[in-house]
């Protein structure tokens, strides 16, 4: 009975994800047969740079941070992902010698659906809709990365911070009609790591933005007033 309930719950989550919403019941049954579910604690590592790139991950619930660490120990956060997002090896080919090259860490308590890459490739051969959605997702992330590169190379410090927080809000489902809400309790060091600034600089800019009424805090979470940033970003 419990096993049947778990299967039904998994099918429901997969059917309601943007990647698998077009699948019929038979296809969902096949997908569930190759999926494993695993939970992670806050700050627990999902994969390391040297780990073999052999799995696809779908976030059932929670947030993750993809980041790199250079030789001096400086952290650069590359992506922040949340419920319904996929990460891992999203390429459409196998690579026996490839590694992730990055760290993936739980931003808060996390539940993942995990699929071995070999099994996933066999599955999507019969489900072209999923392949198209993956290609669309990769294109979206490439555009976001390009926007970030342009932003970091040409914007003021204030604009860099605001744009990064806006991207974070959108990617984590925090955008509302009048506000960009940040669902996680980001420290000033977290934000600094996202855009390559010092913590002291981030603290100074955020304090100024708060004084101007552009950002506010509730339970240590940041919100950005859309009306007040029209002339900035």
- Nearest-CA neighbor of 171 among 98, 88, 64? 64
Per-residue pLDDT at 38: 96
Question: What does the pLDDT look like over 148-170, one tens digit per residue?
Answer: 777 777 678 998 899 989 988 88
| Residue 198: φ, ψ to 5° | -85, 155
Q: 86-122 pLDDT, tens per residue?
A: 999 888 777 888 899 999 999 889 999 999 999 999 9
User: Do 120 and 163 reside in the same domain of the chain?
Assistant: no
132: domain CATH number is 2.60.120.10
Which residue, 105, 140, 175, sits at the end of a domain? 140
Expressed as residue numbers, the domain containing 109 is: 2-140
Res. 144 pLDDT band, cuts 50 70 90: confident
In a domain, 11, yes or no: yes
Whether 211 and 127 map to the same domain: the answer is no
Are residues 114 and 6 located together in one domain of the fold? yes
Q: Which single residue is written with the structure tokens 């980001």?
A: 186
Residues 111 and 165 in one domain: no
For the whole model, what pTM was predicted? 0.76
Give the length of the chain.
233
- Label residue 111 exposed, middle or buried (CB < 10 Å: 0-12, 13-18, 19+): middle
Q: For residue 146, tell me if it sits in a domain.
A: no
Domain count, the chain: 2
- 50-70: string of b/e by CB count within 10 Å (b at 16+)? ebebbbbbbbbebbbbbbeee
Q: What's the distance, Cα to Cα, between the start and end of the chain in Å?
A: 53
Residue 149 forms part of a structural domain: no
In a domain, 150, yes or no: no
In terms of domains, do 97 and 204 share one? no
Render pLDDT for 30-48 as a digit per residue (tens, 0 to 9): 999 999 999 999 999 999 9
The answer on pLDDT for 140 being more than 60 is: yes
- 201 within a domain of the structure (yes/no): yes
Structure tokens belonging to residue 141? 């992330």
Return the SS3 of 149.
helix
Model confidence pLDDT, tens digit, residues 44-75: 999 999 999 999 999 999 999 999 998 888 88
Task: Please indicate, yes or no, whether residues 22 and 123 belong to a single structural domain of this protein.
Answer: yes
Q: At residue 1, does pLDDT exceed 50?
A: no
């Amino acid at each position: 009975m419990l096993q049947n309930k778990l299967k039904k719950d998994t099918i429901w989550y997969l059917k309601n994800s943007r990647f698998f919403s077009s699948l019929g019941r038979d296809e969902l049954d096949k997908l569930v047969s190759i999926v494993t579910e695993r939970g992670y604690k806050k700050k627990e590592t999902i994969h390391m740079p040297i780990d073999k790139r052999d799995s696809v991950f779908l976030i059932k619930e929670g947030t993750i941070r993809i980041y790199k660490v250079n030789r001096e120990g400086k952290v650069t956060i590359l992506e922040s992902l949340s419920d319904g997002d996929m990460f891992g090896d999203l390429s459409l080919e196998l690579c026996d010698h490839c590694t992730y090259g990055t760290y993936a860490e739980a931003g808060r308590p996390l539940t993942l659906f995990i699929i071995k890459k070999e099994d996933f490739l066999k599955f999507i051969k019969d489900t072209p809709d999923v392949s198209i959605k993956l290609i669309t997702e990769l294109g979206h992330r490439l555009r976001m990365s390009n926007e970030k590169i342009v932003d970091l190379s040409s914007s003021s410090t204030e604009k860099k911070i605001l744009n990064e927080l806006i991207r974070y809000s959108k990617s984590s489902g925090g955008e509302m009609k009048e506000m960009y809400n940040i669902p996680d309790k980001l420290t000033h060091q977290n934000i600094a790591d996202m855009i390559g600034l010092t913590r002291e600089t981030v603290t100074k800019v955020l304090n100024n933005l708060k004084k101007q009424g552009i950002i506010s805090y509730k339970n240590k979470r940041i919100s950005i007033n859309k009306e007040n940033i029209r002339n900035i970003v």
